């Protein structure tokens, strides 16, 4: 990959089903997810990731106002082909946090506002989900390393 693998945005929300707000850093807690995010908990989709490249593709489809967090993803990445990672791949974020990929894509039960506007939404196809297997604080621009996968 030509581009540096890193975190380009971190996004959280206190409620499910709404766009997330961007923050500069977040605490990832083992077997929980991101502290302060509605999707955290003891399940397999504690943290969601989406590539900035996927968001840029949607912008090119005619949605110029999109930003990280609009797809309800927690971590926006750059330089990683997320959907090619296998289930079980491990990602080191920053100095300490370690995620294990648990799901690629998701079923979209209802059409979101982005789908209704653009006729498409990338999160069900290109978003991935992970659980936190080692805690740590992550910041925007932290490096990402693929440990396995």
Supply the pLDDT for residue 121. Answer: 63
Task: Spell out the per-residue pLDDT of the chain, length 149, in tens.
Answer: 457 999 999 999 998 877 789 999 999 999 999 999 999 999 999 999 999 999 898 888 887 888 998 888 899 999 999 999 999 999 999 999 999 999 987 666 566 555 555 556 666 678 899 999 999 999 999 999 999 75
| Residue reference for tokens 């990602």 | 91
Selection from 90, 79, 97, 87 nearest residue 30 by Cα: 97
Supply the pLDDT for residue 78. Answer: 97
Q: Which residues of 96-120 are buried (b: 16+ CB within 10 A; e: fewer)?
A: ebbbbbbebeeeeeeebebeeebee
Category of 102 on φ-ψ map: left (φ > 0), alpha (ψ -120 to 50) or beta: alpha
Supply the pLDDT for residue 109. Answer: 56
Domain map (residue ranges) of the chain? 6-148
Supply the pLDDT for residue 59. Answer: 87
Supply the pLDDT for residue 123. Answer: 67
CATH number of this structure's domain 6-148:
2.40.33.20
Supply the pLDDT for residue 1. Answer: 43
Category of 94 on φ-ψ map: left (φ > 0), alpha (ψ -120 to 50) or beta: left
How far apart, in whole angstroms, are the C-alpha atoms of residue 109 and residue 97? 31
Q: What is the pTM of this model?
A: 0.89
Supply the pLDDT for residue 11. Answer: 96
Supply the pLDDT for residue 71. Answer: 81
How far apart, in whole angstroms, are the C-alpha atoms of residue 76 and residue 149? 19
């Amino acid at each position: 990959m030509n581009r540096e693998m890193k975190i380009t945005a971190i996004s959280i929300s206190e409620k499910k089903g709404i766009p997330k707000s961007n923050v500069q850093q977040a605490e990832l807690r083992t077997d929980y997810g991101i502290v302060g995010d509605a999707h955290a908990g003891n399940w397999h989709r504690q943290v969601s990731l989406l590539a900035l490249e996927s968001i840029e593709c949607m912008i090119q489809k005619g949605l110029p106002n999109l930003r990280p967090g609009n797809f309800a993803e927690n971590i926006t990445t750059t330089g990683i082909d997320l959907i090619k990672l296998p289930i079980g791949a491990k990602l080191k974020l920053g100095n300490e946090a370690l995620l294990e990929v648990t799901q690629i894509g998701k079923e979209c039960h209802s059409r979101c506002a982005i789908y209704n506007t653009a006729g498409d939404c990338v999160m069900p196809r290109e978003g991935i989900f992970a659980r936190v297997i080692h805690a740590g604080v992550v910041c925007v621009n932290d490096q990402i390393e693929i440990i396995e996968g």
